[in-house]
């Protein structure tokens, strides 16, 4: 008998989806315009999310370990359908938590992740600090240094991070730094910077085009000293990894260096479907507003959806949204079931979904006409928010480069 194939969500998944949808509709959406205008972290909304259990490690762990792989993309789509800026404030801590889960010891996980979230009465946030002013897509150009002070068993961090979600306002910062410049991206390590550590400060807070309810800032590290126990994974594991990387680089020469970079890029590949799901949520939200508007807005004595010029746009919008979701679901299922991304399916899903979000939100503004250009309707905000998806977690150009290199096996530049 052939194995059963289904795209239906099971009852548990539907229950979670409907619960998230209700929170997005009843709590996030009514507050979206206000926090977009204020350009501040929506602490009351995060607190509400904590009270009901959405803002917690337990919730994300349950979705992450969904055996179908659809838990995380389903959650992201619903929250970002509510509002992208507020949703990013709710899920941004997850970036730092994943960094600890991926690289930390059990003791580090147990110590630091609870401090990232706090509790419903005293919510906290965390920040993952990787990008730098001169090292965004080019992670090998990272300059933030971490030097080990053996006498004190401390690491000393110096440098400037940028584009850090929750940067400077976080209780816990996870910082990626260079420990061996000779090894490119293989010479990096991640460090916990505990609360109130001297030398860490917030630099410029960015006033952004979209996702304005999410705090984005520079993080300045000036002789920041952290205990040796704050190196994620521990020093013994780091020394072993660096030794292997040096041996491989010595044997393979320049060719080995290229392989090291590609291996690092592959680690990012698995996280990209989640960003694709965020983009699907924003696109779906804009499409739904445009569809409702087209059915009720009358011109020349009939609803504007009676015109093929409008109706066909809506048909294309929905088709592209559904296609994007399927790419995201495929990549998420592959990642969970251990199937290799032989065609860069993770990057495919992020690339297509982010491009669809930009296009669909622009079409929604056009369908609403003058109303779409005002802040009285949410599509202009959705259009501004959608611009980020083709930029963060790897630009569309980087996604195409990853896909092209994977398909061809060539070092395309």
Active site residue 393: yes
DSSP state, 54?
S
Sequence-distant (≥ 6) Cβ neighbours of residue 258 within 8 angstroms: 411
CA angle 113, 118, 124 (to 5 degrees): 95
Crossing angle between the packed helical segments 84-91 and 93-103, to the nearest 10 degrees: 30
How many Cβ atoms are within 10 Å of 211's Cβ, its own excluded? 30
Which regions of 291-342 does DSSP assign to beta strands (E)? Answer: 298-299, 302-303
Rg (CA), the chain: 22
Q: 61-70 burial by CB neighbour count: b if 16+ within 10 A, else e?
A: eebbebeebb
- Element containing residue 95 per DSSP (H, E): helix 93-103
| Closest C-alpha among 113, 207, 209, 129 to residue 168 | 129
**DSSP string spanning 195-218?**
TT-TTEEEEEEP--SS-TTS-EEE
Q: Which two three-digit tokens encode residue 76?
A: 């992201």
Which residue is catalytic, options 182, 380, 393, 397? 393
What is the C-alpha separation between 171 and 125, in angstroms, rounded?
Answer: 6
Helices and strands in the chain: count of H runs, count of E runs = 14, 11
Residue burial 322-354, b: 16+ Cβ < 10 Å; e: rest? eebbebbbbbbbbbbeeeebeebbbbbbbbbbb
Are 183 and 236 in contact by the 8 Å Cβ rule? The answer is no
Q: CA nearest 202: which of 185, 224, 187, 219?
A: 219
Q: Residue 148, SS3? A: strand
Strands, E assignment, 33-180: 118-119, 122-123, 126-129, 145-149, 154-165, 172-178
Instruction: Show which residues are catalytic.
Output: 393
């Amino acid at each position: 008998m052939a194995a059963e194939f289904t795209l239906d969500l099971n009852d548990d998944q539907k229950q979670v989806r409907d619960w998230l949808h209700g929170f997005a509709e009843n709590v996030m959406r009514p507050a979206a315009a206000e926090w977009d205008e204020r350009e501040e972290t929506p602490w009351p909304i995060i607190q509400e999310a904590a009270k009901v259990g959405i803002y917690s490690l337990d919730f994300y762990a349950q979705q992450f370990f969904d055996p179908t792989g659809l838990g995380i993309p389903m959650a992201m789509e619903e929250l970002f359908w509510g509002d992208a800026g507020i949703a990013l404030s709710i899920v941004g801590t997850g970036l730092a938590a994943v960094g600890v889960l991926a690289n930390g010891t059990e003791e580090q996980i147990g110590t630091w992740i609870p401090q990232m979230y706090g509790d419903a009465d005293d919510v906290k946030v965390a920040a993952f600090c990787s990008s730098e002013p001169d090292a965004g897509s080019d992670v090998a150009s990272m300059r933030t240094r971490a030097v080990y002070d053996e006498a004190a068993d401390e690491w000393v961090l110096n440098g400037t991070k940028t584009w850090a979600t929750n940067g400077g306002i976080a209780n816990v910062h996870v910082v990626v730094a260079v420990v061996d410049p000779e090894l490119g991206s293989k010479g990096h390590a991640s460090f916990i910077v505990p609360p109130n550590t001297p030398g860490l400060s917030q630099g410029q807070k960015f006033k952004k085009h979209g996702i304005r309810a999410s705090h984005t800032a520079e993080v300045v590290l000036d002789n920041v000293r952290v205990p040796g126990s704050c190196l994620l994974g521990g020093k013994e594991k780091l020394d072993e990894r660096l030794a292997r990387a040096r041996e491989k680089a010595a044997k393979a020469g320049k060719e080995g260096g290229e392989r090291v970079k590609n291996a690092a890029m592959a680690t990012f590949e698995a996280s990209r479907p989640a960003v694709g799901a965020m983009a699907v949520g924003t696109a779906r939200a804009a499409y739904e507003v445009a569809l409702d508007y087209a059915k009720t807005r009358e011109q020349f004595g009939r609803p504007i959806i009676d015109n093929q010029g409008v109706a066909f746009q809506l048909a294309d919008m929905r088709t592209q949204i559904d296609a994007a979701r399927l790419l995201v679901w495929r990549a998420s299922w592959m990642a969970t079931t251990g199937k290799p991304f032989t065609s860069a399916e993770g990057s495919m899903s992020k690339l297509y979904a982010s491009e669809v979000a930009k296009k669909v939100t622009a079409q929604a503004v056009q369908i609403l006409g003058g109303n779409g250009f005002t802040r009285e309707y949410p599509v202009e905000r959705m259009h501004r928010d959608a611009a980020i998806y083709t930029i963060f977690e790897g630009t569309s150009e980087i996604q195409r480069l990853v896909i092209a290199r994977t398909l061809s096996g060539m070092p395309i530049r």
